[in-house]
Structure 1
Amino acid sequence: MASSATTALPVKDTAKVAGSSSSGRPTLKNLTRARVPRAGVIGVSIAVVSALTWKLLISDQHKRNISSFYKTYDPERDYARMKSAGVFKSLQGRERPEWLSEYESQLDDAIASLRTSVTRKW
């Protein structure tokens, strides 16, 4: 019933396998050393492209927005708006210390003197 002759399995030619050395084994020696420079170049290039993209799209736009805001910003008008809205009424029910009133009057005098000195120079 069973044949006494065994059929031989075909043997693969290991030299023809792609990516293998002449002995048929994959190259494992210095594998990390061979791949690290390529991965480093790729990583550095991605980082540089990301940094330039962030600078151009986010940082520069933010600088332009702030610049345009301060071109038209009037702090006195903003202060008057906040004062009329009641932002500074948090101390209204409490007694105001005397030194605070003196300090504010000194600040007002200093600001007025700076304005007159700046307008005289121009």
Structure 2
Amino acid sequence: MSSTLLPKPQMRGLLGKRLRFHIVGALIASLGSAVLYKYGVAEPRKRAYADFYKNYDSMKDFEAMREAGVFESVQPKDS
């Protein structure tokens, strides 16, 4: 009759064992997310800003906006 009994559940150390498993999983997931964000979002964004400002002429942009009448306090140049 003793062979048909269910084994006793583990009572000691169960919380520690489960926490260890979940902390390792959470650490791996968070590091993976950080790496994906860095190389999927941050690096392409930095590269795009660098490419934009490589040939950006702020005075040319200002003159174009002034001619378009964007600024109220700056009068367009008389040509």
TM surpasses 0.5: yes
Distance in 1 (CA, whole Å) between partners of 2:3 and 2:62 is 87
Larger radius of gyration: 1
Distance in 2 (CA, whole Å) between partners of 1:85 and 1:76 is 14
- After TM superposition, the structure 1 = structure 2 runs for residues 1-80 of structure 1, keeping only pairs within 5 Å, are 13-14=4-5, 17=6, 24-80=7-63
Q: How many residues align structurally?
A: 73
Q: Which runs of 4+ in 1 moved over 3 A?
A: none
* Structure 1: gaps of 5 or more residues: 1-10, 18-23, 93-122
Instruction: Report deviation, 1:29.
Output: 2.5
Q: How does the TM-score come out when normalised to structure 1?
A: 0.54
Instruction: Report deviation, 1:86.
Output: 1.0
Distance in 2 (CA, whole Å) between partners of 1:54 and 1:86 is 40
Task: Supply the RMSD in Å over aligned alpha carbons.
Answer: 2.0
Percent identity at matched positions? 27
- The answer to which structure, 1 or 2, has the higher relative contact order (CA under 8 A, 6+ apart) is 2
Q: Which residue identity lines up with residue 65 of structure 1 in the other structure? A: A
